Structure 1
Amino acid sequence: MKKEEIHLGDWQRIVLGNAPGEYMLEVVLRTLIIYLVLLVFIRLLGKRMGAQLTITEMAVMLTLGAIVAVPAQIPDRGLLPAFVLLGTVLLLQRGVNWLALKNRKVEVVVQSDVSLLLKNGVLNTAEMKKMDISHEQVFAHLRSKDVLHLGQLCRVYLESGGHFSVFRYQEPRPGLSVLPEWDERLRDEQQQESDLSACLYCGNVQHQVSAKTQCTNCGHQQWTYAVQPQSLVEQEAEAH
């Protein structure tokens, strides 16, 4: 469209575009056909498409939007090319999944691998940095799982689909609180270990810490209290 053809008061063009009014009925028909084809297509991709998506599945979903947008909105574009593209994407996704099933290295490349974010109550800060995940993102998820301090946990994994898997100790240990620092009421209810401190950066717990003591795990020098394995807050959480 040439710039001299654009007028701010041209409401017919703004609302309906340059296509004739009859095209609105065709849009409804095109949308119905594309919707039904997409339902079949997503069903053929498998049940995973309705769950937490992997990287390749996310790429497929974005591709679907790009494919169906053109024939649904542009009058001079037919539906058949879009269906051919959908079929190509289906074959590509099935082929990638087949290769990933046959070869572990291919699976790691196209779908990523599980990441260990916490081990024995201590954060794996190197892996968190590699995955570009902040402390608060991890703590927020742990709080949603009713975790109040890191000493409750033996492992936290970041799965390839982007969700967290949390495994607890049967007998919790002293650990770093995951409660927000501004929530003083709940933090005050947590019972503190008198002779232990927790590293603010990784959660490592050490004895006899001073202001200049370096964490044996990460080397940082910022410390706070370590939460006792069973606090009043935990008892209340378990009661609820």
Structure 2
Amino acid sequence: MDWSGMFFQNWEGLARTLVVGILAYSCLVLFLRISGKRTLAKLNAFDLVVTVALGSTLAAVLLQKSIPLAEGALALALLIVMQLCVTFLSVRWRGFSKAVRSEPALLVRDGELCLQAMRRERITEGEIDSAVRSSGAANLSSEHTVILESDGSISVVTGIPHRLKE
């Protein structure tokens, strides 16, 4: 077995990775600045998928000699443009928004666990207790409402009327 290729193949490969890496990264930063803050905001599963796809595309462009920089830059731009299209349509059409984004879910109402919603969302009582403690409360009281947000975070609200469906 030839171990030398595992650690170093040639200077040309290192130079390509360096040059293409700098240029591809610069393209990604430029595209993200043009697209605005929304592209990488922690909002929902769809945004996470796009963020992971951007990272995967950047890595592929950096490490695969078969992918030219121009094709990689186009792939990055395509992902960002598709993200912008989805957000544009989501803002204008409620039906489209419901298809690509999850709605917040009420997990605790007036201190009482909403067990059906917890099962549907696969949230344990321990996770709710942890969120309550993180909010600064010692324990779950009748004044607490707990919501699973569309981005997967858990919000603990005190003294607010509940308007969300279980």
- TM-score in terms of structure 2 length: 0.87
Residue 128 (structure 1) aligned to one of 109, 118, 131: 118
Residue 98 of structure 1 deviates from its aligned partner by 1.0
Alignment gaps of 5+ in structure 1: 1-6, 171-240
Residue 14 (structure 1) aligned to one of 3, 6, 25: 6
Matched with 1:79 is 69
What does 1:48-63 correspond to in 2, within 5 Å? 48-63=38-53
Matched with 1:116 is 106
Answer with 1 or 2: which has the greater Rg: 1
Find the aligned partners of 2:40 and 2:51 in 1 and give their Cα distance. 11
Find the aligned partners of 1:56 and 1:85 in 2 and give their Cα distance. 17
What does 1:87-126 correspond to in 2, within 5 Å? 87-126=77-116
- The CA RMSD measured in Å over matched residues stands at 1.8
Find the aligned partners of 1:76 and 1:105 in 2 and give their Cα distance. 40
Identity %: 25
Q: 1:35 to 1:27 in 2, by over 3 A?
A: same
Find the aligned partners of 1:139 and 1:26 in 2 and give their Cα distance. 51
Q: Which AA in structure 2 matches 1:122?
A: E
1:145-194 deviation line (CA, Å, top 9, x unaligned): 12223225342111111122222139xxxxxxxxxxxxxxxxxxxxxxxx
CA contact (8 A) 1:153 1:166 kept: no
Asked whether 1:23 is paired with 2:20, we answer no
Q: Which AA in structure 1 matches 2:150?
A: S
Aligned residues: 160
Find the aligned partners of 1:115 and 1:45 in 2 and give their Cα distance. 29
Q: Which AA in structure 1 matches 2:81?
A: L
CA contact (8 A) 2:40 2:47 kept: no
Matched with 2:127 is 137
Residue 49 of structure 1 deviates from its aligned partner by 4.1
Larger helix proportion of the pair: 2
Which secondary structure state, in structure 2, belongs to the residue aligned with residue 133 of structure 1? coil
Q: Which AA in structure 2 matches 1:23?
A: G
What does 1:180-219 correspond to in 2, within 5 Å? none
Q: 1:152 to 1:41 in 2, by over 3 A?
A: farther
Which secondary structure state, in structure 1, belongs to the residue aligned with residue 11 of structure 2? coil
